[in-house]
Amino acid sequence: STLCPCEVLLGCFCLLLSLLCSIVFCCAGEYVEGNHFKFEYDVSTRNIVMARSSIDEISESGAFARSQSAFRSFISRDGVFLAEPGRYHLYVSYACPWACRCLMCLKIKGLEKAISFTLTAVEVVKSKWERTKETDQHMGWVFPKSDDEEPGAEPDPLYGVRSIRELYELASANYTGKYSVPVLWDKKLKTIVNNESSEIIHMLNTEFDDVAENTTVDLYPLHLQTEINRTSEWIYDAINNGVYRCGFARKQEPYNEAIKNLYNALDRCEEILSKQRYLCGTSLSEADIRLFVTLIRFDEVYAVHFKCDKKLVREFPNLFNYIKDIYQIPGISSTVNMEHIKRNYYGSHPSIDPCGIIPIGPNIDYSSPHDRDKFCL
């Protein structure tokens, strides 16, 4: 007998449904590709789980909107996470400005013997484009397989994990946020204490003075805390995060607003530094560390890659000398690896630079003389 059109349609629908079920529910976490994005299907929870990174954080207006860090516990002298030497490990990358804040603080306070640290490899390199898992297309911070594979980076010394993503999943099997650095890891409890750089530098500055070699250095003194907080707030919004708002903007209006705010803030810094050596007075503070990590990357990366080209930092006399002044503080130059920085930025954002071409210059010499000593007279 001849099937009616309704029966044919019903049969086709059932066949299609069967195929979809076999793909989705039988893959048990296998990689599935959609029309506009790629995702994992978590069979245990029946949820679509996307492996996220900063490039995904774009609002409907086309503006970059950074998400909050997820792990926010604190080290203290009387809490769950005690300030004990040898207990904690800091995971950082030379390429990441947020992570390098923490590395700078660790060096300035003289905490290398109390807190171990590991440098991950460049996030993504055109000639070495690696996934963090075989089940999806997420690209992220990875560890080299040997000390010789990636100069300046090293394998994970604690658990032998291949990526920062694996470390997050070791701390929380159901974690679905970004797999970012820095990571302050508790070797005793085998978990992430904190992954928010602004809070980690607070802890490094205040909680480890019993074991720090440079106890006289205080990057967050009580009498300056209000000023440091206020300064750090506008520096973060307009400069630290501002360069990302310029680079990751997907529409002209958000870019125009971000670039205006960025250069207004740089002008403000230039004016402040025309009158005093550091942002909050005569001594180095957390605010200076926060600003430095962006400025040191500005002419080499942000001016080109993030379209922050209205004016180079080295065209600001006070800012340029200020960068050199901080760079020449003992230990700070070792936190700056421009090869890692440039390879990461130019190689990890295909939507901005599809070919991953790394500019050859400008190769600025930050060890050259500066004029900031004039404020010591």
**Chain mean position to CA 238:** 17
Sheet holding 88-92, edge to edge: 116-119, 88-92, 183-186, 191-194
Give exposure, 13-37, as e/b (b: 16+ Cβ within 10 Å): eeeeeeeeeeeeeeeeeeeeeeeee
* Residues contacting residue 17 through CB under 8 Å, at least 6 positions apart: none
Q: How far apart are CA 55 and CA 356, in angstroms?
A: 15
> Does 57 carry a binding-site annotation?
no
> Does 181 carry a binding-site annotation?
yes
CA terminus-to-terminus distance, the chain: 104
> Does 30 carry a binding-site annotation?
no
- Cα Rg, the chain, nearest whole Å: 24
> Does 197 carry a binding-site annotation?
yes
> Does 232 carry a binding-site annotation?
no
* Residues contacting residue 128 through CB under 8 Å, at least 6 positions apart: 122
Identify whether the C-beta of residue 40 lies closer than 8 Å to the C-beta of residue 48: yes
Q: Which backbone phi and psi does 277 adopt, to 5 degrees?
A: -70, -40
Place of tokens 């066949």: 15
> Does 31 carry a binding-site annotation?
no
Write out 165-201 in H/E/C secondary structure: HHHHHHHCCCCCCCCCCCEEEECCCCEEEECCHHHHH
* Active site residues per annotation: 96, 244
Of 87, 83, 68, 53, nearest to 196 by C-alpha is 68
Q: How far apart are CA 350 and CA 348, in angstroms?
A: 6
Going by the DSSP 8-state scheme, the letter that residue 136 receives in this structure is S
* Residues contacting residue 371 through CB under 8 Å, at least 6 positions apart: 321
> Does 234 carry a binding-site annotation?
no
Binding residue ranges: 141, 178-181, 196-197
Binding residue ranges for glutathione: 141, 178-181, 196-197
